[in-house]
Amino acid sequence: MPIHKICCIGAGYVGGPTCSVIALKCPDIKVTVVDKSQERIDQWNSEKLPIYEPGLDDVVRQRRGKNLFFSTDIDNAILEADLIFISVNTPTKTFGNGKGRAADLKYVEGAARMIAEVANSSKIVVEKSTVPVRAAESISNILTANTFNKPDVKFQILSNPEFLAEGTAINDLLYADRVLIGGEDSEDGRAAIEELCQVYERWIPRKNILTTNTWSSELSKLAANAFLASRISSINSLSAVCEATGADVSEVARAVGLDSRIGPKFLQASIGFGGSCFQKDILNLVYICEGLNLPEVAAYWQQVIDMNEYQKSRFSAKVIESLFNTVTDKRITLLGFAFKKDTGDTRESPAIHVAKTLLDEGAKLHIYDPKVEHSQILEDLTHPHVTDEPENIRKSITIHSDPYEATNGTHAIVLCTEWDEFITLDYQRIYENMMKPAYVFDGRKILDHEKLQKMGFIVQTIGKRLARNSPHRVWGSKVQS
């Protein structure tokens, strides 16, 4: 039977945009996104959505109240749904077995138990959250064990991982490279796969819909993020070589990227990757490999994480080194706090690492980001994982709503997020109102460094030894003035 009603458990970065696009492209399907958080659901029903994603507001406005609904009535949504997406958070465990690496599946388990308790008819249950390989088997066991007294209720478990990039999620959903659906190799399993395929076929060409067994689908999500992150760590490792030798990492990346076997994407050197997926998924992959007694494979992927941490630490250390080896009581501007442009998400943002390092050294930070809420920045920097002295942190940071206010009277600018806005700022005006010498540390390689140097800025960036315009040691150079 075709799908008429969809329920999505979890109103976050995945569930909200995914179901909004499904509602847009399938106006005859009722799509209900549910969450336990009344505050989050209220935001989805308001003019200011809980997440910033280009194009999302327009899609939600078109379908909300027609065939797209946001609710805390989870039970009713489960009861009437033909298909249920599980789109809950799967964070890295912070305690117990697998601490710091394994995925915490408590929310997935909770969703499965809720479905089993409430459902009184057969359902297709779809993993949308990123989960370890064979998690579908655990979900199936929970559903089966908790519906033994409901003989007419059957479940088919599918894996349908998301491949969205924050900042381009709506475009990724509308024009997906591929939609991956994994399921059981049985008559009922193949039928369930086909039903979900028919939903996506409303706007995705069938040739772009890939069907696999469940385990391949689950592993493919982890593998995709691991491959992308490894490209970033690879080019960042070479950025250190470039600084030491005088090569330019942008030129190296361009030369490498012109090889059709490699391609140019994800070869932009930076202060490191962040976000909710890359680190979490690679750590999960490492944990899986260790559990399968594959230590060499685990070590290989762990190095991707280690290189990312090295890059963030290296950048932070060079900021301090360039500022006469001390930033105590110096006013430093952080431009950007989100982990990447076009999102307000700060999870695993490199800016947090940079800010923590500078604050630990006694700096006074002035922070500006065009989309991250001030309360989120404060929460991130006073989190127990960042500091055990939150009151001192509050005294040492000032969060601004204007970039010119954030840079006024400061000693240095540390650019942490590649917002387009930062390229077009009036840097002559900024220079005139900064302390001298005025420094710019471009952690994203997006500014016109030569132009800034002509204004009088002392400029440092990643992967390139700039012409010396200060009495201090150039990054990577062993020669001092």
Helix axes 295-322, 350-360, angle to 10 degrees: 50
Is 80 annotated in a binding site? The answer is: no
Pairing of β 331-335 and β 364-368:
parallel
Residue 129 annotated as part of some ligand binding site: yes
Q: Which amino acid is at 126?
A: V
Interhelix angle 135-145/106-118, nearest 10 degrees? 30
φ/ψ of residue 4, rounded to 5: -110, -30
Nearest to 11 by CA among 70, 74, 75, 67: 70
Is 253 among the annotated ligand-binding positions?
no
- State yes or no: 347 annotated in a binding site: yes
User: Is 14 one of the annotated binding-site residues?
Assistant: yes
277 is in an annotated binding site: yes
Q: Is 40 annotated as a binding residue?
A: yes
Q: Is 293 annotated as a binding residue?
A: no
Catalytic residue among 8, 19, 26, 277: 277
Are 346 and 52 within 8 A, CB to CB?
no
Residue 277 annotated as catalytic: yes
Cα distance between residue 84 and residue 142, in whole Å:
15
**Is 61 one of the annotated binding-site residues?**
no
d(Cα 87, Cα 14) in Å, to the nearest integer?
Answer: 6
Is 414 assigned a ligand-binding role in the annotation? no
* Total residue length of the chain: 481
- 92 in a known ligand binding site: yes
On whether 295 is known to bind a ligand per the annotation, the reply is no
Burial class (CB within 10 angstroms; exposed 0-12, middle 13-18, buried 19+) of 444: buried
279 assigned to a ligand binding site: yes
Q: Is 91 annotated as a binding residue?
A: yes
Give the sign of the dihedral formed by CA 62, CA 63, CA 64, CA 70: negative
Q: Are 352 and 403 in contact (CB under 8 A)?
A: no
Q: Which residues are annotated as a binding site?
A: 10-15, 35, 40, 88-92, 129-130, 166, 277-280, 347
Q: Which residues are annotated as a binding site for NAD(+)?
A: 10-15, 35, 40, 88-92, 129-130, 166, 277-280, 347
Catalytic residues: 277
